[in-house]
Amino acid sequence: MGKVLIIGAGGVSGVVVHKCAQHPEVFSEIVLASRTKSKCDAIAAQLKRPVKTARVDADNVPELVALIKQEKPDLVLNVALPYQDLHIMEACLETGVNYLDTANYEPPDTAKFEYKWQWAYHDRFKKAGIMALLGSGFDPGVTSVFCTWIQKHHLDEIHTIDIIDINAGDHGYPFATNFNPEINIREVTAKGRCWENGQWIETAPLSVKHAFTVPENIGTSNIYLMYHEELESLAKHIPHLQRARFWMSFSDSYLKHLEVLCNVGMTRIDEVEFNGQKIVPLQFLRALLPDPASLGPRTKGKTWIGCQVAGVKNGAEKTVTIYNVCDHQECYKEVQSQAISYTTGVPAMISAKLMISKVWNGVGVFNMEQMNPDPFMDELNRCGLPWKVIEQAVADLG
């Protein structure tokens, strides 16, 4: 039994709180804190179990430290934004509490994510005798565990990994993002990047595309080569890896709007002068777009997220595909959220469960693929994200 302090009260947080509340045998107490306390209260009001709420600015380390000292949680689960990661890690170090997040640190003024800032905390976490687990959403998160599980049970060596993320759902808006708009647009407009033969190969944003017939009769989607953070940690932690790529589906409507927004400067992240005050266009755009947490009731259709992994087993070449299918409306029925928040929030809860119950244990800073995949894979099946594995390729991606 343990106490969890959840930071952030957006779309993903709503799912994490619901799912933690479903497991009182592990999460005996839940505290939810964010910048806007009324959003915490709105999530807490959806639940039958009591959830304590608080206001905290997670960019303010002394404020965080005071909250952690007051609440004495066993784990801090960060589902605020990537900008807050290092501040929350600092506060965990100062108070000696384990840390978990779903997205790696990004400096606010540069659209760039890299693990180096968080990996640099390894020795300090180790010395403090505490654990930080990074990137426990679906991608990153489940995708990394899928790869290590395949390595453990299906292949002797992994040579190539293709992570494919399909959202075949429709929210009915011409343009909206399924998670935080600022983080989403920074990620999608970045250069494509894949790992090949020991080096990073860069491509222009969204310039490499394939049509992919999604298994389980989900239809055909265009998928685009992107850079994604688990590629960096998989390249470090999977031996014999020759190539790792990440593909994501986008609708034509999403891409059309994104192109115009980029062309007119609305996705800029530097300050511009407007009517005597400074604004960041992307932050202004974010204020205009639908809140991802509000998409739940109107999003219909399914997500399909999986890994196509090739390598050798007993000297013979072999390809294995592993995936999850998630239905937006089913998620909404269960936790009042669409499937993107659901597929992120459920793995965050599972890792929190495994850390609090000490099934996953360690001192230092870890990525998901460094943990034993088996208990996590079992929990996925139990907690709403069942997976399937087939010993064949599903996509010809060149």
How far apart (Å, rounded) are the C-alpha atoms in residues 62 and 220?
Answer: 50
CB of residue 147 vs ligand NDP: minimum separation in angstroms?
A: 15
Whether the bond into 140 is cis, omega within 30 of 0: yes
Q: Which helix (H) or strand (E) holds 388?
A: strand 387-390
Q: Indicate whether 34 belongs to the interface with ligand NDP (CB under 6 A).
A: yes
Toward ligand NDP, which CB reaches closer, 79 or 282? Answer: 79
CB of residue 341 vs ligand NDP: minimum separation in angstroms?
A: 6
Kindly state the number of chain residues that form the binding site for ligand NDP, as judged by CB under 6 A: 33
Q: Indicate whether 118 belongs to the interface with ligand NDP (CB under 6 A).
A: no
Q: Exactly one of 29, 139, 232, 369 binds ligand NDP (CB under 6 A); which one?
A: 139
Q: Indicate whether 147 belongs to the interface with ligand NDP (CB under 6 A).
A: no
Q: Exactly one of 73, 141, 169, 296 binds ligand NDP (CB under 6 A); which one?
A: 141
Q: Where are the alpha helices (DSSP H) in 264-383?
A: 281-288, 328-335, 339-356, 373-382
Q: Exactly one of 105, 113, 121, 138 binds ligand NDP (CB under 6 A); which one?
A: 138
Residue-level length of the chain: 398
Q: Indicate whether 338 belongs to the interface with ligand NDP (CB under 6 A).
A: no
Q: Where are the alpha helices (DSSP H) in the chain?
A: 11-21, 37-44, 61-71, 85-95, 116-119, 122-128, 142-153, 181-188, 229-237, 252-263, 281-288, 328-335, 339-356, 373-382
Q: Indicate whether 44 belongs to the interface with ligand NDP (CB under 6 A).
A: no
Residue type, 155: L
Stretch that binds ligand NDP, among 5-13, 262-270, 294-302, 372-380 (CB under 6 A): 5-13
Neighbours of 90 (CB within 10 A): 16
Q: Indicate whether 384 belongs to the interface with ligand NDP (CB under 6 A).
A: no
Residue type, 370: Q
Q: Indicate whether 84 belongs to the interface with ligand NDP (CB under 6 A).
A: yes
Give me the residue label for tokens 């850390």. Answer: 355
What residues numbered 270-299 form the site for ligand NDP, per CB under 6 A? 292-293
Q: Exactly one of 53, 95, 151, 180 binds ligand NDP (CB under 6 A); which one?
A: 180
Q: Indicate whether 8 belongs to the interface with ligand NDP (CB under 6 A).
A: yes
Select from 62, 73, 121 the least CA-distant residue to 98. 73
Hey, which residues does 160 pair with through a beta bridge? 243, 310
Q: Exactly one of 24, 28, 36, 265 binds ligand NDP (CB under 6 A); which one?
A: 36
Inter-axis angle of helices 328-335 and 339-356, to 10 degrees? 60
How far apart (Å, rounded) are the C-alpha atoms in residues 80 and 348?
Answer: 12
CB of residue 16 vs ligand NDP: minimum separation in angstroms?
A: 9
Toward ligand NDP, which CB reaches closer, 98 or 143? Answer: 143
What residues numbered 13-32 form the site for ligand NDP, per CB under 6 A? 13
How far apart (Å, rounded) are the C-alpha atoms in residues 220 and 365?
Answer: 39
Mask 64-83, x = binds ligand NDP (CB under 6 A)?
---------------xxxx-
CB of residue 144 vs ligand NDP: minimum separation in angstroms?
A: 10
Q: Indicate whether 192 belongs to the interface with ligand NDP (CB under 6 A).
A: no
Q: Which helix (H) or strand (E) holds 390?
A: strand 387-390
Contact footprint for ligand NDP (CB under 6 A)? 8-13, 34-36, 39, 56-59, 79-82, 84, 102-103, 135, 137-141, 179-180, 183, 292-293, 344
